[in-house]
Structure 1
Amino acid sequence: MLDAVSAHRIVDFFETGFRHTAWRLETRREYAADTGTDEYRRFLDGIQPPPDTDGPWFANARAQTGQGKRIERVRLIDEPPTDNQRYLLATTPDNLAAGEDIRYMTRGQAEQLQLPDFDFWLFDSRVLAAFNWDNAERRMELTEDPAAVVRACQARDAAWHHATRYEEFARRVASPM
């Protein structure tokens, strides 16, 4: 293991943590960073989240992609989607506007492909940052272990090949609201 980055410093890590590509697999049915907000509670009451393109994550993503770096994700969705998955579908346009490329696949597809069942970022195909959600500090544990990185690269390649672009996926799913 190289190090660990606590969740509240992830945006800082993205400023210097990669040179070319950052790729993420999102597997969880719910994220506390979303569900604990007033915006999320309003979403559950049927109020569309307002655009948020100026927050720290979005400003940094724009800066990174403006330098030619790629930030990509594949998000797993249950059938039917959980409330938090619907919220993420509703807010994905903010990420896209910041330059990210987010694609979706159903959990069933991911299971058929035998994708990992944990969230991770893969940086420049050389650093694996696996999320440790069980730790009270919530952190990314970084490693350059070749075997772990190769497995993550294989998962990335399979997921990216089979995932559907947001725009197409959103048309096939019932309205997130």
Structure 2
Amino acid sequence: MAEQLTGDDFNKLFRYFTATAFRLEVQPVYDVTDERQSIDEFLAGEPRPVTEFPFYAAWLDQIRSVTAQGRRVERVRVLTEPPTDYQRWEMWSGQYNTAAGERIRYMSRSRAENIGLPIQDDWWLFDSLRLALMRFSDQGEPLGGEIITDPTIVSQHVAWWNLAVRHSSPDADVTRLAPESP
């Protein structure tokens, strides 16, 4: 059972989940217009707090609101080795997400591959009941997605969520996130 994922659909899922929202984030870059100025400033060595950017501030307000209600928002970011400029910005800007109540963990792409995580598409899992599968171009442009409620597919993603959390770290230092030697 799948339906096309629109921005409004996602916002409804995000606002109304009751206990947990988890994202597996696997793209090396995302082409998000509202982030460009912050990324450019970061790369120039002159970053301003992301709270000064309306798009990001609104996201953080939403995170604060749902986590204040006792709901959990968590993500695992899969980083290339070395991280892309975009991922370096994400590691820096993640401090604001964490301060708002989101839990962010990291793992290297090679570790994700070694443990069998699917690393083609990003996804959000809401209350272990609904999956928002998101697709992106190689340049990070959103290509849409779908909402999936099929229990078998959702159950597999719950297992991958647990696997991702178990093999990731709250520390973004990918040198320590590389696969362990046999």
Q: TM-score, structure 2 length as denominator?
A: 0.82
Question: What is residue 3 of structure 1 aligned with on the other side?
Answer: 3
Separation in 1, partners of 2:82, 2:142: 30
Matches within 5 A, 1:114-153: 114-117=116-119, 118-134=121-137, 138-153=143-158
Contact 1:11 1:60 (C-alpha < 8 Å) held by counterparts: no
SS in 2 for 1:32: coil
SS in 2 for 1:79: coil
Name the amino acid aligned to 1:14: F
Residue 169 of structure 1 pairs with residue 177 of structure 2: no
Give the alignment partner of residue 110 of structure 2, picking from 108, 111, 123: 108
Aligned residues: 169
Separation in 1, partners of 2:30, 2:65: 25
Same amino acid, percent of matched pairs: 34
Question: What is residue 85 of structure 1 aligned with on the other side?
Answer: 87
Q: Shift of the alpha carbon at 1:98?
A: 1.0
Contact 1:115 1:155 (C-alpha < 8 Å) held by counterparts: yes
Question: What is residue 76 of structure 2 aligned with on the other side?
Answer: 74
Name the amino acid aligned to 1:40: I
Question: Structure 1 residues 34 and 102, CA, compared in 2 at 3 Å: closer, same or farther?
Answer: farther
Separation in 1, partners of 2:125, 2:97: 18
Separation in 2, partners of 1:6, 1:94: 26
Question: Structure 1 residues 97 and 34, CA, compared in 2 at 3 Å: closer, same or farther?
Answer: farther
Deviations 1:13-38 (A, max 9, x none): 4212x110000100000001168612
Question: What is residue 45 of structure 2 aligned with on the other side?
Answer: 46
Q: TM-score, structure 1 length as denominator?
A: 0.85
Deviations 1:101-131 (A, max 9, x none): 0000000000001101210001111111100
Deviations 1:140-172 (A, max 9, x none): 41111112111101110111001101xx33496
- Mark the runs of 5 or more structure 2 residues left unpaired by the alignment: 177-182
Name the amino acid aligned to 1:99: G
Residue 160 of structure 1 pairs with residue 141 of structure 2: no
Separation in 2, partners of 1:6, 1:49: 31
Q: Shift of the alpha carbon at 1:132?
A: 2.6
Separation in 2, partners of 1:94, 1:4: 31
Contact 1:120 1:130 (C-alpha < 8 Å) held by counterparts: yes
- Mark the runs of 5 or more structure 1 residues left unpaired by the alignment: none
